[in-house]
Structure 1
Amino acid sequence: MAIEVSVVRVFTDDRGGHGNPLGIVRADEVAEADRQALATELGFSETVFFTSDGSSRAWATIYTPAAELPFAGHPTVGLSWWLCQHGTKIDTLSVPASDLRVRFDGDTTWIRAKASWAPPFVEHQVKTIAEVEATDPASFTDGHHYVWTWVDEAENSIRSRMFAPDMGINEDEATGSAAVWITDRLGRGVTIRQGRGSILLTTRDDDWIELGGRTVAGNTIEI
């Protein structure tokens, strides 16, 4: 039996450009023991496997090409949007890290998270956007690395790139967990342009950080 994989792009710009591809699979189509192999075969930075009973709650597990994650931003934002588009508007998404609160505001989907759920990132703050854009992914061989600079500090706008060889990801186009982490690190909400031009939005309220962005539908793959 073929497995259906819905593909969306998460954290697009306001014209629907860029964004990080995400594979979405119904959990009952793939045995838990086979999910890592499928995520590796698909090659997306993350693939999410979900269960929903049609109520306001859903459950999901998240895999990179190399490992399962307790939390990640672009799969939780993207899946929440996809479920809403398919008639299930959830307000809670359960992942191994915790229950996430979900809300929708126009074309932006928001999830609520804590920085402690993100992996540890090595911070590389540089002085110019040109330095961010000139960073060579091959210079990182392990760990999780976040290269960034201010675009406009007064406007809370930054430019960034993220590299995670340990996850099987040379470079991630848009990284929600890193956005949560840098928001906590800076102590304020930010607008982030990451990768080629993806846009991530955050707000901060005490220990809670909201992560938001736009999502657009892509193709469907059968494996």
Structure 2
Amino acid sequence: MTAYDVLRVFCGPRGGYGNELGVVRDGSVLPGPDERQEFAAKLGFSETVFVDDPERGVIDIYTPTTRLPFAGHPCVGAAWLLDVPELVTPAGVVGARQDGEFCWIEARAEWVPPRTLRQYATAAEVDDLPVPPKGEWVYAWAWLDEPAGRIRARAFPGRDDGIDEDEATGAAALLLTDRLGRALNITQGTGSQILTAPQPEGWTEVGGRVYLER
């Protein structure tokens, strides 16, 4: 069996919740894209990361059904685990830093695949949403406290891979931050926390807590 770590990324203030992430630290054991795709499907996490160069931070990201040039929670988790100043992804070089209990990455909205950002009037409406039909990637959100930048969100990938809802999605949070042009404190899923902040020249920081599960 190929060795891998399991992290929880974007955990809540008390260390719970977060989105699970599989990380294969030695990507050379599964060098081909077909092998990696098969392994990611077998693990069944929303994303799995293969590390191709731990010192330079070169990573490769897969969902159970497809390869991604960039994704938020895999980059935050890999940056925390490898403790590197940057990650190299097919989309571009992702800045990374540790700040106390939070790990941050810096990326660009144009790296994120299309998402539907759908605003609702209240957090209760977001809480009550059923899983929408397949085919459309929906990030449902509402203000909890607009002056404070606090948001309630849920993410529905719309893929046919058994993952109806993502517990925490950094890329969608990045898109929303880019659209709103302000720092956000997002409560997503059952209790995950994602922090974001716009940066100069079109960059956005996304941060959260990461814990090693096993």
Count of matched residue pairs? 210
Alignment match, 1:172: 166
**1:39-188 alignment runs, 5 A limit:** 39-53=40-54, 55=55, 57-83=56-82, 89-137=83-131, 139-166=132-159, 168=161, 169-188=163-182
Q: Does 1:14 align with 2:26?
A: no
Aligned counterparts of 2:136 and 2:65: Cα–Cα separation in 1: 13
Q: Does 1:214 align with 2:213?
A: no
| TM-score computed with the length of structure 1 as normaliser | 0.91
Q: Distance in 1 between matches of 2:66 and 2:175?
A: 20
Q: In structure 1, what is the Cα distance between the partners aligned to 2:160 and 2:22?
A: 16
Shift, 1:167, TM fit: 6.8
C-alpha distance in 2 between matches for 1:167 and 1:186: 30
Aligned AA (1:117): W
Residue 27 (structure 1) aligned with residue 22 (structure 2)? no
Distance across 1 between alignment mates of 2:154 and 2:28: 35
TM normalised by structure 2 equals 0.95
Give how far 1:115 is off: 0.5
Partner of 1:86: none
Q: What is the CA–CA distance in structure 2 between the aligned matches of 1:129 and 1:23, rounded to whole Å?
A: 30
After TM superposition, what 4+ stretches of structure 1 lie above 4 angstroms from structure 2?
none
Identical positions, percent: 44
Q: Distance in 2 between matches of 1:134 and 1:62?
A: 31
After TM superposition, give the deviation of residue 80 of structure 1 in Å: 1.1
Partner-residue secondary structure (3-state), 1:38: helix
Matched-pair contact (CA < 8 Å) for 1:80–1:102: yes
Contact conserved, 1:46 with 1:64, CA < 8 A, in 2? yes
CA displacement, residues 64-105 of structure 1 (integer Å, 9 cap, x when unaligned): 11110000010010011112xxxxx31111011001111110
Structure 1 residue 196 and structure 2 residue 190: aligned? yes
The CA distance in 1 between the partners of 2:171 and 2:47, in whole Å, is 12
Whole-Å separation in 2 of the counterparts to 1:167 and 1:101: 32
Consecutive unaligned residues of structure 2, counting only runs of 5 or more, are none
Match of 2:39 in 1: 38
Q: CA deviation at 1:119?
A: 1.4
Q: Secondary structure at the match of 1:171?
A: coil
- Secondary structure of the structure 1 residue equivalent to 2:165: strand
Deviates more, 1:7-16 or 1:166-175: 166-175
Cα distance between partner residues in 2 of 1:59 and 1:72: 14
Q: 2:48 corresponds to which letter in structure 1?
A: T
Q: Which has the higher strand share?
A: 1
CA shift for structure 1 position 170: 1.2
